[in-house]
């Protein structure tokens, strides 16, 4: 027996594929016989028995259909390659990729459940079981519509920042933050430094559509800043597990690419009570004199030489409001119209559409041990043009937070759908973790678009303009592999807030100066090629096992390394020597790897990546020359340099933080 073909047919309708094989497909050779899940093609006769036979059958998993063809003889049948090529072409023509659109809705005439039940029946069913499910599903729909609009009109984004000749008459605040999730952490720190802070949040403050996981050594950055005490940290820990698993489906991988489980016991192993954490951030912000306006939406910003006027709308009443500040901080995430206006078509290069939920109870005993987490897991191959990946994090009590996501190319024809992902999630969760869906008790949904930017250098993306600065997801601050924007912000919080403090002290609030306040790391920028190798280009058909083969190559390699290597890599701390050593080992282990990534990324992105690699190499060389003395020299210069040449001081401080980050220690 020999496998001749394995491919994905991008439709959940297995019966339609079977019917097409049996009724419409014309192989042009052999005698076709219907079988239970496909067909048999018989060739030649030796008495009453065929001399050779091809078996073509289909099955369904992950809301899609897969097909395999086997030959039941040792010798190829005549024109076998042509037959298989024709079968592949005919299937692609009959069952092409489809990228469905959510329906247009009018909530004045129907509920969100009524509007979506026809296209997303399971999503409606289970959102109806969630507290305030109609509100959350409206948020999912709003987020998807806003993302689609931004992706499809990148060159002409909505203008929300307007230059003005005259300043507003009174500057009320030093800092106005738009976005109350990651923004609340940053805002609390700046308020405690003595700045007048206003935080604007579109939702009721403290509500989140994500949960947060981190490790102790990463959260220590916040404790060291004095923003939280060790006791306060313990009070917001919902669960700390003892190990995390990383494993990708390898049932269709060749034997040398079947990897063992990668254990990461200190990666995302602390689940935080996000609402309690945000409430505490809000309390610290208010205690330091800060102000929070929640359920308030950003409309536009008018930027003058001396301040910025922010126009707002209070959502419950529709009342218009306004505030003025020295600086506007954009923490609106991927939906930020400011980020899209600043960068147009290069705002984001990739995205992880992510859905899931916090489940309070309902799993049978033994389904999962809450001492463990699933950091990255796949249980099948490419599904409808996406490699679906799961995460599972235990919370307080019996609670489990489960995410489903995929690495996705930002493409106007295929923006990526949260609603489609939710229908996948509710359909295939029992395949991933044994459960009776109707017994699960849902606490809340978790969803969003997590962005990625393929950096070539430290200045190839605008994160600021005059008197406006982006942070968090709006600045595409995330880790290329696990896409943890929260962890990235926390790791870089001392750097970002210290640089902003310097800029505010000396009124260095032009685009030229603010664009230095970023968490760019050349060792992180160079790893974007890994995420590129995990996404299926729009309109392309890849071998279904391809991305799992890539993931198993690299994570299998890490599984054979000392534990600190994986920890260092995932937490954005890998150095030049380690990166190159691992890359060479991966190429030796799987020589086809570079060719696969070239096919997926294309020549243009491979050349861009070479720019990232040369930048990484140059940074490593500069680090070797300067890291031993430049940071201490900078601090020695501070008393007179900051007073006489504040712009130069800001630049030297930026360079120093870049060097100490590469050295994996604070400035």
For residue 83, pLDDT beyond 60: yes
| Window from 7-16, 306-315, 601-610 with minimum mean pLDDT | 601-610
Write down the pLDDT at residue 561. Answer: 92
pLDDT band for position 152 (cuts 50, 70, 90): confident
Buried/exposed 607-642: b ≥16 CB within 10 Å, e otherwise: ebbebbbebbeebbebbeeebeebbeebeeeeeeeb
Q: What is the pLDDT of residues 504-515, one digit of tens each?
A: 999 999 999 999
Check the CA dihedral 478-664-461-578 and report its sign.
negative
Confidence of residue 132 (pLDDT cuts 50, 70, 90): very high
What is the average per-residue pLDDT within 555-583?
88
pLDDT computed for residue 316 by the predictor: 93
High-pLDDT (> 90) share of the chain, %: 66
pLDDT of amino acid 333: 83
| 3-state DSSP helix/strand/coil % of the chain, to nearest 5 | 40, 20, 35
pLDDT(665) > 60 = no
CB atoms within 10 A of CB 26: 8
User: Phi and psi for 214 in degrees, rounded to 5?
Assistant: -160, 180
What pLDDT, on a 0 to 100 scale, did the predictor assign at position 345? 62
Contact predicate 158/337, CB 8 Å: yes
* pLDDT tens figures, 35-69: 999 999 988 766 566 778 899 999 999 999 999 99
> Going by DSSP bridges, is the β-strand pair 291-293/389-394 parallel, antiparallel, or unpaired?
unpaired
Higher-scoring residue by pLDDT: 348, 328 = 328
Q: Could you say which DSSP state residue 487 is in?
A: H
Per-residue confidence (pLDDT) for residue 528, from 0 to 100:
76
Assess whether pLDDT exceeds 80 at residue 154: no
| pLDDT tens-place string over residues 363-391 | 999 899 999 999 999 999 999 999 999 99
Residue 209 scores a pLDDT above 90 = no
pLDDT at residue 431, rounded to an integer = 92
Q: Counting beta carbons within 10 angstroms of the beta carbon of residue 594, is it exposed (0 to 12), middle (13 to 18) or buried (19 or more)?
A: middle
What's residue 518's pLDDT? 86
Are 305 and 152 in contact, with CB atoms under 8 Å apart? no
Average confidence (pLDDT) over 427-448: 94
Closest CA to 496 of 514, 479, 484: 514
Class of residue 112 by CB neighbours under 10 A (exposed 0-12, middle 13-18, buried 19+): buried
Is the pLDDT at 662 greater than 60? The verdict is no
Query: Token pair for residue 72?
Result: 């039941």
Structural domains in the chain, CATH included, are 2-94 (3.30.310)
Cα angle 142, 477, 519; round to 5? 150
- d(CA 581, CA 599) in angstroms, rounded, equals 23
User: Does residue 524 surpass a pLDDT of 80?
Assistant: no
Over range 205-217, report the average pLDDT: 85
CA separation for the pair 439, 251 (Å, rounded): 30
pLDDT at position 664, please? 53
Overall size of the chain counted in residues? 667
Angle formed by the axes of helices 485-505 and 216-224, nearest 10°? 20
Contact assessment for residue 216 and residue 314, using Cβ atoms and an 8 Å cutoff: no
Mean pLDDT across 248-268: 92
- Average pLDDT of the chain, as a whole number: 90
- Provide the pLDDT for residue 534: 87
Calculate mean pLDDT across residues 102-128.
Answer: 95
Q: 625-643 pLDDT, tens per residue?
A: 998 899 999 999 999 999 9
Q: What is the predicted pLDDT for the residue at 458?
A: 67
Average pLDDT over residues 462-468: 92
String of DSSP letters for 92-126: HHHS----PPPPP--TTTS-HHHHHTTT-HHHHHH
- Report whether pLDDT(199) > 60: yes
Identify the band that residue 135 occupies on the pLDDT scale cut at 50, 70 and 90: very high
CA distance 651 to 621: 19
Banded model confidence at residue 481, pLDDT cuts 50, 70, 90? low
Short-list 431, 377, 430, CA closest to 405:
377
What is the pLDDT at residue 648? 96
Query: Quick one: average pLDDT of 597-625?
Result: 88
Q: 191-227 b/e with 16+ CB inside 10 Å = b? A: bbbebbbbbbbbbebbbbbbbbbbbeebbebbeebeb
């Amino acid at each position: 027996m020999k496998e001749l073909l394995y491919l994905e047919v991008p439709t959940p309708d297995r019966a339609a594929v079977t019917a097409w094989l049996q009724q419409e497909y014309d192989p042009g050779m052999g005698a076709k016989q219907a079988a239970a899940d496909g067909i048999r093609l018989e060739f030649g006769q030796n008495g009453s028995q065929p001399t050779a036979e091809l078996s073509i059958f289909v099955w369904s998993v992950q809301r899609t259909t897969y097909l395999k063809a086997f030959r039941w003889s040792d010798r190829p049948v005549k024109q076998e390659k042509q037959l298989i090529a024709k079968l592949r072409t005919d299937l692609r023509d009959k069952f092409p990729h489809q990228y469905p659109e959510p329906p247009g809705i009018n909530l004045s005439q129907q509920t969100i459940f009524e509007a979506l039940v026809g296209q997303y029946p399971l999503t409606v069913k289970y959102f109806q079981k969630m507290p305030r499910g109609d509100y959350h599903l409206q948020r999912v729909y709003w987020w998807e519509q806003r993302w689609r609009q931004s992706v499809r009109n990148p060159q002409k984004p909505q203008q929300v920042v307007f230059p003005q000749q005259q300043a507003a008459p009174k500057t009320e605040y030093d800092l106005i933050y738009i976005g109350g999730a990651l923004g609340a952490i940053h805002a609390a720190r700046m308020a405690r430094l003595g700045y007048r802070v206003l935080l604007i949040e579109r939702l009721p403050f403290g509500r989140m559509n994500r949960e947060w996981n981190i490790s102790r050594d990463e959260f220590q950055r916040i404790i060291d800043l004095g923003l939280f005490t060790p006791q306060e940290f313990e009070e917001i820990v919902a669960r700390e597990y003892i190990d995390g698993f990383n494993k990708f489906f390898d049932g269709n991988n060749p034997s040398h690419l079947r990897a063992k489980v990668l254990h990461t016991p200190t990666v995302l192993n602390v689940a935080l009570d996000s609402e309690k954490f945000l409430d505490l951030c809000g309390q610290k912000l208010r205690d330091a004199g800060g102000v929070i306006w929640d359920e308030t939406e950003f409309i536009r910003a008018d930027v003058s030489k001396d301040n910025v006027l922010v126009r707002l709308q209070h959502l419950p009443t529709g009342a218009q409001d306004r505030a003025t500040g020295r600086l506007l901080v954009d923490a609106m995430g991927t939906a930020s119209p400011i980020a899209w206006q600043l960068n147009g078509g290069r705002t984001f290069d990739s995205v992880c559409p992510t859905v899931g939920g916090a489940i309070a109870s309902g799993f049978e005993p033994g389904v999962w041990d809450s001492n463990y987490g699933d950091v990255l897991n796949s249980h099948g191959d490419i599904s409808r043009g996406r490699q679906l990946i799961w995460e599972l994090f235990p919370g307080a009590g019996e609670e489990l937070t489960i995410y489903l996501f995929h690495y996705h190319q930002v493409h106007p024809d295929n923006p990526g759908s949260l609603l489609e992902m939710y229908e996948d999630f509710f359909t295939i969760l029992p395949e991933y973790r044994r459960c009776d869906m109707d017994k699960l008790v849902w606490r809340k949904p978790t969803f969003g678009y997590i962005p990625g930017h393929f950096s070539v250098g430290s200045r190839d993306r605008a994160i600021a303009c005059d008197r406006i600065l982006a942070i968090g997801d709006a600045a595409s601050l995330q880790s290329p592999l696990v896409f943890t924007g929260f962890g990235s912000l926390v790791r870089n919080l001392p750097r970002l807030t210290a640089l902003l403090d310097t800029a505010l002290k000396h009124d260095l609030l032009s685009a030229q100066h603010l664009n230095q306040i970023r968490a760019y790391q050349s060792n992180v920028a160079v790893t974007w090629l890994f995420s590129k190798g995990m996404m299926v280009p729009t309109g392309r058909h890849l071998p279904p096992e391809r991305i799992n083969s890539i993931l198993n190559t690299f994570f299998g390699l890490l599984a054979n390394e000392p534990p600190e290597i994986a920890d260092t890599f995932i937490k954005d701390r890998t150095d030049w020597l380690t990166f190159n050593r691992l890359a060479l080992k991966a190429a030796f282990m799987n020589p086809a790897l570079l060719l696969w990534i070239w096919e997926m990324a294309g020549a243009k992105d491979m050349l861009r990546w070479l720019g990232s690699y040369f930048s990484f190499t140059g940074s490593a060389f500069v680090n070797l020359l300067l890291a031993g003395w430049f940071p201490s020299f900078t601090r020695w210069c501070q008393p007179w340099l900051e007073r006489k040449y504040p712009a130069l001081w800001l630049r030297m401080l930026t360079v120093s933080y870049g060097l100490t980050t590469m050295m994996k220690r604070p400035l």
